[in-house]
Amino acid sequence: MNKRTRIDLHNHTTRCNHAEGTVDEYIQKAIKLGIDIYGFSEHAPMDFDPHYRLSFKEMVAYRDDVLYVKEKYKNEIKILLGYEVDWLPGHMDDRVLKADVDYLIGSVHFIDKWSFDNPEFIGEWKDKDIDEIWKAYFEATQAMAKSGKFDIIGHLDLIKIFKFMPKQDVRSLAKNALQSIKRSNMVLEVNTAGLRKPIGELYPSRELLGEAYALDIPITFSSDAHAVEQIGFSYDLATSLAKEVGYTKAATFEGRDRQLVTF
Ligand SMILES: [Zn+2]
Ligand SMILES: [Zn+2]
């Protein structure tokens, strides 16, 4: 049997101001868990909502942090450098989009400028039509895919976070977005953070993962860790769901080139 490779590509550092733990602590935990490929994907700088992310000034220091552990632990684990970039038209910056990294994750955290996944602004859900919110979310996701700027689509159905579910079938709401993801040759992450949120499910749901498989969209795995104890969170659940749906390979990146490995 081929060796199985354990991948975890979406993880944060304290530089986003809402995570805990040093890069050394993250990596030591990842090694202990037997993770083979570990990626840092800090919230990229942006001139909007600056408190929840790295600043432009810190980009070099962030890179140095990651390259430092990459070298230090090179015999034990492969470490990758990435960013999680917000899809927010008018606020994306070439210093991020053209950065010398292994991969870019594109994520929709805002509808217009509403931070719909932040508990601070949960009140706005009550003033809006839930189906319209879901529609707007997947339209933004589709636009992000069409832009061709990103390698990985972050938490495909993050919009379900607080369990405000639409009346319409989620598969039909996500259909155009998934087709654009396929056309733009992006990878979908199976992200376990949703299990720690009110929805209590993986991102994406089993039904959307099934749609992605039918479209032959590759996947990768991530724990979206903002704390050392979240690294590797529910990895077995993520891989068993992916296997049930039909997947056997997961994607990893180097210098924005993709490779598939058996998980
Ligand atoms: Zn975060
Ligand atoms: Zn995110």
| SS3 (DSSP) at 119 | helix
Nearest to residue 239, comparing CAs of 256, 221, 258, 261? 221
Whether 72 and 120 have beta carbons less than 8 Å apart is answered as no
Tokens of 127: 């003033």
d(CA 49, CA 60): 20
Dihedral class, residue 136 (left if φ above 0, else alpha if ψ from -120 to 50, else beta): alpha
pLDDT given for residue 3 in this prediction: 84
Measured between alpha carbons, how far is 251 from 263 in angstroms, rounded to an integer? Answer: 9
- Cα–Cα distance measured from residue 154 to residue 10, given in angstroms and rounded to the nearest whole number: 8
Cα 75 to middle of ligand 2, angstroms: 30
Residue 152 CA to ligand 1 center (angstroms) comes to 16
Indicate the DSSP class of residue 114. B
Collapsed DSSP state (helix, strand, coil) of residue 14: helix
Q: How many CB atoms neighbour CB 198 within 10 A?
A: 13
pLDDT for the residue 2: 59
The number of the ligand nearest the C-alpha atom of 159 reads 2
**Placement of tokens 């917000």 in the chain:** 86
- pLDDT at residue 121, as a whole number: 93
CA nearest to 177, candidates 216, 140, 215, 131: 140
Question: Cα of 137 to ligand 2 centre, how many Å?
Answer: 14
Ligand 2 centroid–CA 222 distance in Å is 11
153 alpha carbon – ligand 2 mean position (Å): 10
Query: What is this structure's pTM?
Result: 0.97
Q: How far apart are CA 237 and CA 3, in angstroms?
A: 19
Residue of 81, 72, 2, 101 whose CA lies nearest to 38? 81
Instruction: Look at strands 249-254 and 257-262 and give their pairing.
Output: antiparallel
CA of 109 to the centre of ligand 2 (A): 7
Ligand of minimum distance to the alpha carbon of 18:
1
Tens place of pLDDT per residue across the chain (263 aa): 558 999 999 999 999 999 999 999 999 999 999 999 999 999 999 999 999 999 999 999 999 999 999 999 999 999 999 999 999 999 999 999 999 999 999 999 999 999 999 999 999 999 899 999 999 999 999 999 999 999 999 999 999 999 999 999 999 999 999 999 999 999 999 999 999 999 999 999 999 999 999 999 999 999 999 999 999 999 999 999 999 999 999 999 999 999 999 99
Q: What is the pLDDT of residue 193?
A: 98
Using alpha carbons, select from 84, 89, 209, 210 the residue that is nearest to residue 142: 89
Q: CA-CA distance, 166 to 172, in Å (whole number)?
A: 11
Using the mean position of ligand 1's atoms as its centre, give its distance from the Cα of residue 184 in Å.
25
Measure the CA–CA gap between 20 and 15, rounded to whole angstroms. 9
For residue 53, what are the contacts with CB-CB under 8 A and spacing of at least 6? 16, 17, 42, 43, 44, 45, 46
Closest-approaching ligand to the CA atom of 20: 1
